[in-house]
Amino acid sequence: MTYYQFIREVEVKVKEGVKENVTVCIHSAVKNNGTSRHGLTIAETGINIFPTIYLEEYYQQFQAGSTIENIAGDILRLYKEVRFQHSFESESIKDYEKMKKKIVYHVVNREANKELLKEVPYEEYLDLAIVFYVLLEVSSFGMASMLVTDEHLRIWDVTEKEVYGKACENTRKLLPYEFKTMKAVLEELLGVEELQEEDAMYVLSNRIRSYGAAVMLYKDRLVGIGEYLGENYYVLPSSVHEVIIVPESAAPGQEELSGLVAEINETQVDAEEVLSNRAYYYDRKKRKLLL
């Protein structure tokens, strides 16, 4: 069965499992880094904000032996957990006074998103771009957000600098940081009490671990990590969702680390989630992250 046949089969099966006031349709979108993704948008009558559940990972499960029926059941269970309970006031989007406390930022690769950046306000940072979103809702599954475009700036009659300033205020408040050892994160993910691993690396993200690489922009966050480690360190952009901190004394060197990041991005990270193939270096004296 081809991928597109799979999508159609899943769509039919999911439709059989929803109520009459719920519609299911196939949705295609160009996501981060210009990647194209396909999913099912599940919309409930009377609610104007709804999730799209992407299907690439489910197709991998199908190829590994899972059935269409089981996959459709998993999608329906996920929908019940992530569905929105109420509508979003669409007219509020036009009111900057209502929106300004919800504006946050993400970081994305600048070169890979150059087409997107033609239509949105952004700030350059290293080889990245800081882009802005209106945060509609946050849950343990991630966040519902709306990308801020140049058109929004025109409607709001504000500048990119104003939006950037609000995002700097809001992001660290609405999406607090999390800084843990790699060992602690692995123990949590694997559900084990203690791994026999060294604590040479750390994971920096936000508490919901969704677009958490932006935490490295938080005021004084990198400074505080340098004070905690007592030395300079490397920042490995492992994905848009988190970065890895490696003390300089435990690292082989920036060139080797960049090679490692590039290899992991190519073999283990979804194309949509790749942030950069470059390792960054934090200099405590300069209080600055460097390429």
Please compute the mean of the pLDDT values over residues 7-19 and round it to a whole number. Answer: 95
Per-residue confidence band for 133, with pLDDT thresholds at 50, 70 and 90: very high
| Nearest-angstrom CA–CA distance, 222 and 233 | 10
The predicted pLDDT at position 194 comes to 65
State both tokens at 260. 């490692």
In which residue are the tokens 């602690």 written?
Answer: 184
The predicted pLDDT at position 69 comes to 96
Please compute the mean of the pLDDT values over residues 9-36 and round it to a whole number. Answer: 91
| Nearest-angstrom CA–CA distance, 20 and 45 | 9
More confident residue, 79 or 85: 79
Does position 278 have pLDDT exceeding 70, yes or no? yes
More confident residue, 199 or 9: 9
Q: What is the pTM of this model?
A: 0.81
Closest CA to 249 of 268, 262, 264, 234: 234
| Nearest-angstrom CA–CA distance, 262 and 194 | 30
Please compute the mean of the pLDDT values over residues 14-23 and round it to a whole number. Answer: 93
CATH topology of domain 3-82: Double Stranded RNA Binding Domain (3.30.160)
Please compute the mean of the pLDDT values over residues 187-209 and round it to a whole number. Answer: 78
Please compute the mean of the pLDDT values over residues 182-207 and round it to a whole number. Answer: 78
The strand pairing partners of 106, in sequence order, are 131
What tens digit of pLDDT does each residue of 222-239 get? 999 999 999 999 999 999
The predicted pLDDT at position 273 comes to 92
Per-residue confidence band for 28, with pLDDT thresholds at 50, 70 and 90: confident
pLDDT over 70 percentage in the chain: 93
The strand pairing partners of 30, in sequence order, are 36
The predicted pLDDT at position 132 comes to 98
Domains in the chain: boundaries:
3-82, 90-174, 177-290
State both tokens at 125. 């940072």
| φ, ψ of residue 233 in degrees (nearest 5) | -155, 165
The strand pairing partners of 234, in sequence order, are 246, 281
Please compute the mean of the pLDDT values over residues 17-26 and round it to a whole number. Answer: 93
The angle formed by the CA atoms of residues 185, 188 and 192, to the nearest 5 degrees, is: 120
Mean pLDDT score of the chain, rounded to an integer? 90
Report the length, in residues, of the chain.
291
| Nearest-angstrom CA–CA distance, 148 and 103 | 8
